[in-house]
Structure 1
Amino acid sequence: MSIDREQFAAGVRWWQTKTNWPNDFHNSDYEVLAAQNPDGDFTDSWWAGFLPRLTTWKALRPLSQADVTGLFDEHRGDLARTWHQACAPVKHLDITGVAWDQVRTFPGVAARLKPTKSASAVFPSKFCHFLLPRIFPVFDNAAVGGSCTYETYFNLIKSTWEATPAALRAEFQMELAQLIEGHGGSSLYEGFPLATKIVELAFIGRRHP
C-alpha cells in the first residue's frame, strides 16, 4: 500500500512532539556511524563504542550488556563472515536495490546476540541499521507497533516505498531534506537513509494519526 501525505505529516509531527529523538532525524548520527563502521572487522574496541548506542536505543532489554557481549564474542566470526559475503557487495546501495535474500544471513546472525522466543525484529534491525542504515530499516515498538519478523518488516518497507508513486517519493525526499537542514543548518548527509526513514515516518503516522 502506498504511503500518503497525511501519514507522513503525522509521523513527522509525532517524532517532533512526542519523543526526545533528534529533530535532524539522526542525520548527524548517521555520519558518525559511517565513520565508525568496522566493515566486517568486529573488534573489541569497536564493540566497546557500539554497545552503548544499542543500550541507548533500548535494544538490549531485558538482557544485560555482559549477556550480549558474551554472545557477541561467541558469534563474532559468523558476523564477519556473513558481512563479507552478504553486506560488503551491496554496502553502497540502498533498500531499493537489495533483496532480502541477498542480505538475510547477516541479520540472522545478529539476532543470535539477543535471542527471543518471538523472533522479534527490534534487536537485529537496530544492530544492522547502525551499520547499513540505507539498507536495513529500523523497527521500534513504540513508534511502529505490532509484532513481526525482521524479514516481514524489511519487505514491507521495501514494497511500500516501491508502491508509492515516484513523484510523491521525490516530494517526500525534498521535504525531509528541508526539515533536516532547517534544524541547525547542517546539510543532509549523503548516506542518510531517505527511503527507509520516509516509510518509517509514514508507518508512525498510521499508528499515531
Structure 2
Amino acid sequence: MQPIDRQEFAAGVRWWQTKTKWPNDFHNGAYGVLAAQNPDGEFLDNWWPDFLRRLTRWGALRPLSGVDVTGLLVANRDGLASAWQQACAPVKDMDITGVTWEQVRAFPEVVARLKPTKSGSPVFPSKFCHFLLPRIFPVFDNAAVGGSNTYEAYFNLIKNTWVATHADLQAELVAELARLVEDDGQSRLYDGFPMATKITELALIGRRHA
C-alpha cells in the first residue's frame, strides 16, 4: 500500500481550500455539533430532521427526496438500531486504526438500504456513517477522491494508507492539520476530530488532483 507523502497532503489541502466551498476548519466545528446530537443507536423521529438536513447539504440524497429516504429510515429503524449495537457501540471510542471492516460492516450495510443504488455507491453510507462516527468511518466524495466502487474498498484504502505511513510523518501531519484548523480562528480543535481519516482523505485528494 502506498503511504502518504507530504506533497500529496499539501496538494489536498490546497484543493480543499481553493476548489471547493467547504469550510477552512475542515468541518471541525461540525464534528462537535454532531457528537452532541449523536443518538447512540436511538434513531428516533426527533433526531432525524437535523441529520437529514445535513445529509441534504452534503449532497448525499440525490436523486432521492428527503421523503423517500425518511420512509426507508422508518422501515429500517429496528435494523439500524440492532446493527449499531452489534457493530458500532463496542468500538465507538476507537478510530479506524483499531477496527476492521468485518467488525463494523453490519452498520453501513443497513444504512445503504436507506438509499439503494444499482452501483452500490459509497457516497450515502459513507456520509451517514461519518456523521455518527467520523473517527471510524471515512467520508467519500466522488469529485474529491473517486475511484472506489464500494464503501468496503474505500474504508480499507483509507485504513491501509494511514497504517502504511511512518509514525513520524503521521505525527507531523497531525500537528500540521491541527495548526490549519486552529488558524481558521473559528474554534479550538475538537477533541474527537478524526485525524487519521481526514489526513488520509486530504492525501488521496492531493494524489488525484496534484
Task: Return the TM-score normalized by structure 1.
Answer: 0.99
Q: State how far apart, in whole Å, the 1-side matches of 2:112 and 2:187 are.
A: 34
For residue 187 of structure 1, report the CA deviation from its aligned partner.
Answer: 1.5
Q: Does 1:175 align with 2:176?
A: yes
Q: State how far apart, in whole Å, the 1-side matches of 2:186 and 2:92 are.
A: 28
For residue 207 of structure 1, report the CA deviation from its aligned partner.
Answer: 1.1
For residue 146 of structure 1, report the CA deviation from its aligned partner.
Answer: 2.3
One-letter identity of the residue aligned with 2:26: F
Q: Does 1:125 align with 2:126?
A: yes
Contact 2:148 2:154 in 1 (8 A): no
- 2:60 maps to 59
Could you report, residue by residue, the CA deviation over 1:117-158 in whole angstroms, capped at 9, with x for unpaired residues?
111100000000000000000000010022410001001100
Matches within 5 A, 1:41-190: 41-184=42-185, 186-190=187-191
One-letter identity of the residue aligned with 1:49: D
One-letter identity of the residue aligned with 1:145: G
In the comparison of the two structures, how many residue pairs are matched?
209
Contact 2:130 2:139 in 1 (8 A): yes
Fraction of identical pairs, as percent: 73
Contact 2:25 2:186 in 1 (8 A): no
Deviates more, 1:79-88 or 1:139-148: 139-148
For residue 6 of structure 1, report the CA deviation from its aligned partner.
Answer: 0.7
- 1:31 maps to 32
Q: State how far apart, in whole Å, the 1-side matches of 2:49 and 2:182 are.
A: 31
One-letter identity of the residue aligned with 1:117: K
Cα 1:9/1:82, change in 2 over 3 Å: same
Dislocated runs of 4+, deviation >3 Å: none
For residue 185 of structure 1, report the CA deviation from its aligned partner.
Answer: 5.3
Unaligned stretches of 5+ residues in structure 2 = none
One-letter identity of the residue aligned with 1:208: H
Could you report, residue by residue, the CA deviation over 1:179-199 in whole angstroms, capped at 9, with x for unpaired residues?
001011522111000000000
One-letter identity of the residue aligned with 2:192: G
- 1:21 maps to 22
Could you say what the CA RMSD is over the residues aligned between the two structures, in angstroms? Answer: 0.7
For residue 43 of structure 1, report the CA deviation from its aligned partner.
Answer: 0.5
Q: State how far apart, in whole Å, the 1-side matches of 2:29 and 2:88 are.
A: 23
Could you report, residue by residue, the CA deviation over 1:54-110 in whole angstroms, capped at 9, with x for unpaired residues?
000000000011110110000010000010111001000000001111100000000
Task: Return the TM-score normalized by structure 2.
Answer: 0.98
Q: Does 1:9 align with 2:10?
A: yes
Local SS of the residue matching 1:45:
coil
Local SS of the residue matching 2:83:
helix
Q: State how far apart, in whole Å, the 2-side matches of 1:94 and 1:145 are.
A: 23
